[in-house]
A and B are shown apart, each in its own frame.
Chain A
Amino acid sequence: MAILVSLGAVLAIVVIALIGAQVGPLQYLLGILVPYAAFAIFIGGFIWRVVYWGKSPVPFRIPTTAGQEYSFPWIKRNRFDNPVKLWEVLVRMFLEVFAFRSLFRHTRAELRGGNLIYGPSKWLWLGALMFHYSFLVIALRHLRFFVQPTPEFVKTIENIDGMLQIGAPHMYLSEVMLLTGLAILLGRRFFAPRIRYISLANDYFPLFLIIAIATTGILMRFLFRVDIVGVKELVLGLASFHPTLPDGIGAMFFIHVLLVSALLAYFPFSKLMHMGGVFMSPTRNLVNNTRMKRHVNPWWTPPKFHTYEEYEEEYRDLMKEAGIPVERE
């Protein structure tokens, strides 16, 4: 059910774009208004969500410690799994964000028949890593449409990405890796019962959406060629706030753009916000120095507790009888 609905939603977007692309006036809507709106929602929504999180304080320092604490000089501590300094926590976050370190823990070396091999759980880490990195590379490559002249680093990325020089135009590595990564992530949800059990439409929809985006992107380059010059003109226009709509851009482009717009608009309201959240997760981004440094809770209130005076008042006789010193005889 969740799968069908998600798939249906993505197909609906494709169909809408396909129809829209055939009707002249609607092209303005699809090519200019919708991307602007989606981008605005994305930026606004992203900021809104981060501010929404940020409005709640972090009352306690509760990092998950994953290694030896700072104690004596003669005990080797684990700086990055149990950081006490700012730079150490930055390394921890770096490893977390760029190498998915916690997920890598999930990868367990197993002894099977005397040989050390890795269990299937590695697929999650690998799939996630492939997906996220190729997505980043592809996003950066797209900068060539937004900036004139194309920045050097974008060209470098393109060169590296296309170094295998397979096919004409060159197949990019990132395209292959993105689709492979997506296939692994989706495959887990389909075929691993445990993961299927916990999957919601919210999990399938973005996957289908991104698969559709990647597919249309690839199709545009190989099968349904679109007018690249026109596309760049349109995108540059959008980026410089002087939008123009050149003629003869293929329908595939409009599908691609509408799908991307859908992703942008959906982003801030979904689990995709883990992109921002990972930086703000208090179990990872805090230092473990709570006994070394006092941390103040903004909503701290003094505790109402049973004071010693009350205690002695209640038990004075018993205490005296037992020879325990008291404040007042």
Chain B
Amino acid sequence: MALNDIIEKKRDSIVEMWLNTLFSTYHPKTAQFLENKRNKFDNPVGSAFKEAIGPLFDEIVGDFDQEKIRQCLDEIIRIRAVQDFIPSQAIGIFVVLKDVVRKVIPSKEMGPEIYEELFIFDAKVDRMALMAFDVYMACRERIWEIKLNDFKKRPIFAEGQMCLSYMLRRGLKHRQKRGEVEQFTDIRPQEN
């Protein structure tokens, strides 16, 4: 039997096993909650995973539409990027798919005839994993960007408790218009 036929037949159990592996990266107590709590709003994490992992798998064995894959990856990684995972744990779950697929291939089918297909499948998983890395980094960078913006918005006090803040610049804008001040220099690092 060809690998694709096996995968097609076992699609649901592969997806389920993959999903369970994903849940198992959490504390068992949490995993149970993520898996069983069905209300989407009481359990946003579990629901997002459940909704994303099936289409993700279909896309990998199917058309490999990069945009769709990126979207599915984003649903999952955006959450894992802010949780208690080191990077390899956060995206390791995608590499694991190789092992998950091998587990469902009956041992008698395992032979040189499907090695080539398996090789292609693995390569796709690798590509997905690399994309996952990109998505993960984008999320992390986003976090830092938000952090930076947050710090930028904070008041900056200089000598004499003069607030060189956003508000001050705002006020100066008006005073400049009215001709009360000639010009002012913002000492803060400027956004491009």
With a cutoff of 8 Å between Cβ atoms, the chain B residues found around residue A196 in the complex are: 29
Look across to chain A and name the residue whose beta carbon is closest to the beta carbon of B32: A193
- The verdict on A110 contacting chain B, using a C-beta distance below 8 Å, is yes
14 A-B residue contacts at CB 8 Å? A108-B42, A110-B38, A110-B39, A112-B38, A119-B37, A120-B36, A193-B28, A193-B29, A194-B29, A194-B30, A194-B32, A196-B29, A197-B28, A197-B29
CA distance A108 to B37 in the complex (A): 10
- The verdict on A192 contacting chain B, using a C-beta distance below 8 Å, is yes
With a cutoff of 8 Å between Cβ atoms, the chain A residues found around residue B39 in the complex are: 108, 110, 119
With a cutoff of 8 Å between Cβ atoms, the chain B residues found around residue A192 in the complex are: 32
Look across to chain A and name the residue whose beta carbon is closest to the beta carbon of B38: A110
With a cutoff of 8 Å between Cβ atoms, the chain A residues found around residue B36 in the complex are: 120
Look across to chain B and name the residue whose beta carbon is closest to the beta carbon of A121: B37
With a cutoff of 8 Å between Cβ atoms, the chain A residues found around residue B28 in the complex are: 193, 197
CA distance A48 to B124 in the complex (A): 70
Write the B15-48 contact mask toward A (1 if CB under 8 angstroms, else 0). 0000000000000111111001111001000000
Instruction: Point out residues on B near A: beta carbons under 8 Å.
Output: 28-33, 36-39, 42
* B160–chain A nearest beta-carbon distance, Å: 11
B33 and A194 within 8 A (CB): yes
Instruction: Point out residues on A near B: beta carbons under 8 Å.
Output: 108, 110, 112, 119-120, 192-194, 196-197
Q: Give 5 nearest A-B pairs by CB, closest first.
A: A197-B29, A194-B29, A193-B32, A193-B29, A193-B28
CA distance A164 to B38 in the complex (A): 38
CA distance A192 to B33 in the complex (A): 9
With a cutoff of 8 Å between Cβ atoms, the chain B residues found around residue A112 in the complex are: 38
With a cutoff of 8 Å between Cβ atoms, the chain A residues found around residue B30 in the complex are: 194
CA distance A120 to B30 in the complex (A): 16
CA distance A194 to B31 in the complex (A): 9
Look across to chain B and name the residue whose beta carbon is closest to the beta carbon of A120: B36
With a cutoff of 8 Å between Cβ atoms, the chain B residues found around residue A197 in the complex are: 28-29
* A242–chain B nearest beta-carbon distance, Å: 55
CA distance A119 to B31 in the complex (A): 17
CA distance A97 to B150 in the complex (A): 47
**Residue among A110, A112, A192, A193 with most chain B CB within 10 A:** A193
CA distance A120 to B32 in the complex (A): 13
CA distance A112 to B31 in the complex (A): 21
Look across to chain B and name the residue whose beta carbon is closest to the beta carbon of A117: B38
CA distance A45 to B87 in the complex (A): 54
